[in-house]
């Protein structure tokens, strides 16, 4: 335990000095670990950790979380010094409330000790593994979901050195668990991937095959491992100095792992947990047989519109999503994207009206207390746009419909990838395929049509039927021409 006398830092010793409604719901450090979580970022801390703490507080169970940060050594150092405690501030225009979460039973740094992660995966006490590692860490081609065996993953799957990739750690851990026959387990993807449970199952199966795993181990995984699909939702921007300062004001102690989030939160989970699970339904999660309709609703509406606001907003010089929403005509364009394209592209969950859901999403984006940077949402477009926009386009076109508003989002991404905002400032292309995208754009004729052709030809990102669609190509080119000639504001006005 950290030294507490005179310290102004959040730790076990500081808990009794906190306002009563800011204290954890469980006694920190007393709940044995049952969940292993990979990806200790802000989203996990404000989402699954909060649900799990509440589930344990109301339903009991040995479901403390061991949180694994893949690379963030500072975060692990901070959480260790804080006895695994951190706070979540819930922010709206009218209200703010800060509470310390006691869900973490321990933290590990995968980069420093990958074998510890492998050992935890093989530990019979661990019966649930949740993941928030971002889309790119699955190392799948975003368009089709096939395994992308880059050198680090190949080394993890075929050699003896400690694994460095997420699929490598999962496969090594599952092989160790199978060898020890350490009991059933569920691997739960909480990332914004399409059919995330099926994708993770496919990833593990392909990786086992690539590793030439012995058949009994493959059979063990087939019989003992669940891959429930999930839909996760809460807007949680990366923490800033302001987030930490606000937590300090609320708590009276320093919390260097503080996160801030919107009030809205949702978790839909397929109930496929062969080794048991926390009573998450007691914390408001929805357990169901098929999360697919919820996942499409959220990826296409919330995340699709988020990306639209991020690219158009960043091009127009807006720092945050809330600023972008205030651009003249943007909300009107986003409403048409939702009503005319997104809502027409899929069957929503029973009882849900996509346009109403979209209105709620726009209100959430406008929350002035959440400073979500457009550049944060704009990151990793190649990994996000397939499930957020390209599947919408593909489904609309398969039904013979127009996808004109969705085409605008693709055009905005292309213009963003070209690297210059309307005011001439440089925009960063933070994307695992940045080199491929830049090279494709550089080799193409320097016209809107040339850029559209180059991007549609990125077959690991764009589904073939979308790439081959002349109408889509024409719509994206028309939007990109307007964005290039006139900029975002006039394009939105004339839309």
Measured from the CB atom, the residue of 175 and 305 that comes closer to ligand CS2 is 305
Interaction of residue 303 with ligand CS2, rule CB under 6 A: yes
Select from 8-16, 111-119, 232-240, 286-294 the region that touches ligand CS2 (CB under 6 A): 232-240
Q: Which two tokens stand for residue 5?
A: 């006398």
Which residues in the 44-103 window bind ligand CS2 by CB under 6 A? none
Alpha-carbon gap, residue 362 to 315, rounded angstroms: 19
Tell me the closest approach of the beta carbon of residue 372 to ligand CS2, in angstroms: 7
Select from 77-85, 93-101, 233-241, 395-403 the region that touches ligand CS2 (CB under 6 A): 233-241
Measured from the CB atom, the residue of 72 and 376 that comes closer to ligand CS2 is 376
Q: Which two tokens stand for residue 41?
A: 């970022």
Interaction of residue 233 with ligand CS2, rule CB under 6 A: yes
**Per-residue contact string for residues 135-174; x = within reach of ligand CS2 by CB under 6 A:** ----------------------------------------
Interaction of residue 306 with ligand CS2, rule CB under 6 A: yes
Angle at 56 between CA 54 and CA 61, to 5 degrees: 165
Alpha-carbon gap, residue 98 to 273, rounded angstroms: 32
Alpha-carbon gap, residue 66 to 84, rounded angstroms: 10
Measured from the CB atom, the residue of 223 and 352 that comes closer to ligand CS2 is 352
**Per-residue contact string for residues 380-419; x = within reach of ligand CS2 by CB under 6 A:** ----x-----------------------------------
Q: Which residues contact 40 (CB under 8 A, 6 or more apart)?
A: 67, 68, 69, 72, 75, 76, 79, 107
End-to-end, the C-alpha distance of the chain in Å comes to 59
Q: Is 104 helix (H, G, I), strand (E, B) or coil?
A: strand
Measured from the CB atom, the residue of 100 and 299 that comes closer to ligand CS2 is 299
DSSP code of 57?
A: H
Interaction of residue 234 with ligand CS2, rule CB under 6 A: yes
Alpha-carbon gap, residue 429 to 382, rounded angstroms: 10
Measured from the CB atom, the residue of 85 and 285 that comes closer to ligand CS2 is 285
The DSSP element (H or E) to which 491 belongs, if any, is helix 488-494
Alpha-carbon gap, residue 156 to 301, rounded angstroms: 36
Interaction of residue 296 with ligand CS2, rule CB under 6 A: no
Measured from the CB atom, the residue of 52 and 192 that comes closer to ligand CS2 is 192
How far, in Å, are 65, 271, 435 from residue 223 at the CA level? Answer: 25, 16, 41
Tell me the closest approach of the beta carbon of residue 298 to ligand CS2, in angstroms: 7
- E strands within 217-312? 225-226, 230-233, 259-261, 266-270, 286-288
Query: Which residue is it, tokens 């959220």?
Result: 298
Interaction of residue 254 with ligand CS2, rule CB under 6 A: no
Q: Which two tokens stand for residue 76?
A: 């692990």
Tell me the closest approach of the beta carbon of residue 303 to ligand CS2, in angstroms: 5
Alpha-carbon gap, residue 459 to 283, rounded angstroms: 41
Alpha-carbon gap, residue 366 to 371, rounded angstroms: 10
Tell me the closest approach of the beta carbon of residue 52 to ligand CS2, in angstroms: 17
Measured from the CB atom, the residue of 187 and 235 that comes closer to ligand CS2 is 235
Measured from the CB atom, the residue of 235 and 343 that comes closer to ligand CS2 is 235
Measured from the CB atom, the residue of 301 and 484 that comes closer to ligand CS2 is 301
Q: Report the phi/psi class of residue 82: left, alpha or beta, with left for phi > 0 and alpha for psi in -120 to 50.
A: alpha
Select from 183-191, 230-238, 353-361, 420-428 the region that touches ligand CS2 (CB under 6 A): 230-238
Q: How many residues bind ligand CS2 (CB under 6 A)?
A: 9
Interaction of residue 262 with ligand CS2, rule CB under 6 A: no
Interaction of residue 235 with ligand CS2, rule CB under 6 A: yes
Interaction of residue 308 with ligand CS2, rule CB under 6 A: no
Which residues in the 363-382 window bind ligand CS2 by CB under 6 A? 376-377
Measured from the CB atom, the residue of 43 and 220 that comes closer to ligand CS2 is 43
The answer to whether 352 and 297 are in contact (CB under 8 A) is yes
Tell me the closest approach of the beta carbon of residue 33 to ligand CS2, in angstroms: 26
Q: Which two tokens stand for residue 361?
A: 């999403």
Measured from the CB atom, the residue of 28 and 304 that comes closer to ligand CS2 is 304
Measured from the CB atom, the residue of 371 and 384 that comes closer to ligand CS2 is 384
281 CB-side CA count, 13 A: 7
The DSSP element (H or E) to which 494 belongs, if any, is helix 488-494
How far, in Å, are 39, 157, 163, 318 from residue 70 at the CA level? Answer: 6, 18, 11, 31
Which residues in the 184-223 window bind ligand CS2 by CB under 6 A? 192
Tell me the closest approach of the beta carbon of residue 217 to ligand CS2, in angstroms: 34
Query: What are the residues binding ligand CS2 (CB under 6 A)?
Result: 192, 233-235, 303, 306, 376-377, 384
């Amino acid at each position: 335990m950290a030294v507490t006398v005179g310290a102004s830092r959040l730790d076990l010793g500081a808990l009794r000095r906190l306002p009563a409604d800011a204290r954890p719901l469980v006694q920190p450090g007393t709940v044995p670990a049952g969940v292993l979580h990979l990806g200790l970022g802000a989203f996990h801390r404000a989402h699954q950790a909060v649900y799990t703490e509440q589930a344990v507080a109301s339903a009991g169970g040995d479901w403390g979380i061991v949180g694994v940060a893949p690379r963030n050594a500072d975060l692990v150092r901070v959480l260790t010094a804080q006895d695994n405690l951190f706070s979540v501030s819930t922010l709206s225009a009218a209200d703010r409330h800060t509470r310390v979460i006691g869900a973490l039973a321990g933290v590990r740094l995968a980069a420093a000790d990958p074998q510890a992660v492998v050992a935890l995966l093989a530990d019979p006490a661990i019966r649930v593994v949740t993941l928030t590692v971002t889309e790119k860490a699955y190392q799948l081609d975003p368009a089709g979901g096939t395994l992308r065996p880059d050198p680090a993953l190949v080394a993890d799957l075929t050699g003896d050195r400690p694994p460095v990739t997420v699929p490598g750690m999962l496969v090594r851990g599952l092989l160790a668990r199978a060898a020890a026959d350490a009991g059933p387990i569920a691997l739960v993807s909480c990332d914004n991937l399409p059919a995330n449970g099926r994708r993770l199952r496919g990833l593990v199966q392909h990786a086992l095959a690539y590793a030439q795993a012995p058949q009994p181990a493959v059979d063990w995984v087939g019989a003992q491992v669940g891959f429930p699909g999930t839909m996760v939702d809460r807007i949680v921007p990366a923490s800033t100095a302001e987030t930490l300062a606000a937590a300090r004001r609320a708590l009276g102690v320093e919390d260097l792992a503080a996160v801030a989030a919107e009030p809205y939160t949702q978790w839909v989970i397929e109930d496929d947990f062969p080794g048991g699970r926390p009573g998450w339904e007691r914390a408001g999660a929805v357990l169901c047989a098929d999360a697919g309709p919820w996942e499409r609703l959220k990826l296409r509406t919330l995340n699709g519109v988020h990306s639209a606001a991020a690219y158009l907003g960043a091009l127009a010089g807006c720092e945050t999503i809330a600023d972008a929403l205030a651009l003249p005509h943007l909300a009107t364009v986003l409403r048409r994207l939702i009503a005319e394209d997104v809502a027409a592209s899929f069957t929503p969950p029973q009882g849900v009206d996509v346009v109403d859901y979209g209105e709620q999403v726009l209100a959430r984006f406008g929350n002035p207390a959440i400073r979500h940077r457009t550049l944060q949402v704009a990151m990793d477009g190649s990994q996000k746009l397939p499930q957020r926009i390209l599947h919408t386009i593909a489904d609309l076109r398969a039904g013979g419909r127009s996808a004109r508003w969705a085409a605008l989002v693709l055009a905005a991404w292309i213009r963003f990838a070209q690297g210059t905002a309307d005011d001439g400032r440089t925009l960063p292309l933070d994307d695992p395929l940045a080199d491929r995208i830049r090279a494709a754009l550089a080799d193409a004729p320097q016209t809107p049509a040339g850029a559209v052709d180059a991007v549609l030809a990125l077959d690991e990102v764009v589904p073939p039927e979308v790439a081959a669609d002349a109408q889509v190509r024409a719509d994206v080119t028309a939007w990109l021409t307007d964005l290039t000639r006139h900029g975002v504001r006039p394009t939105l006005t004339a839309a």
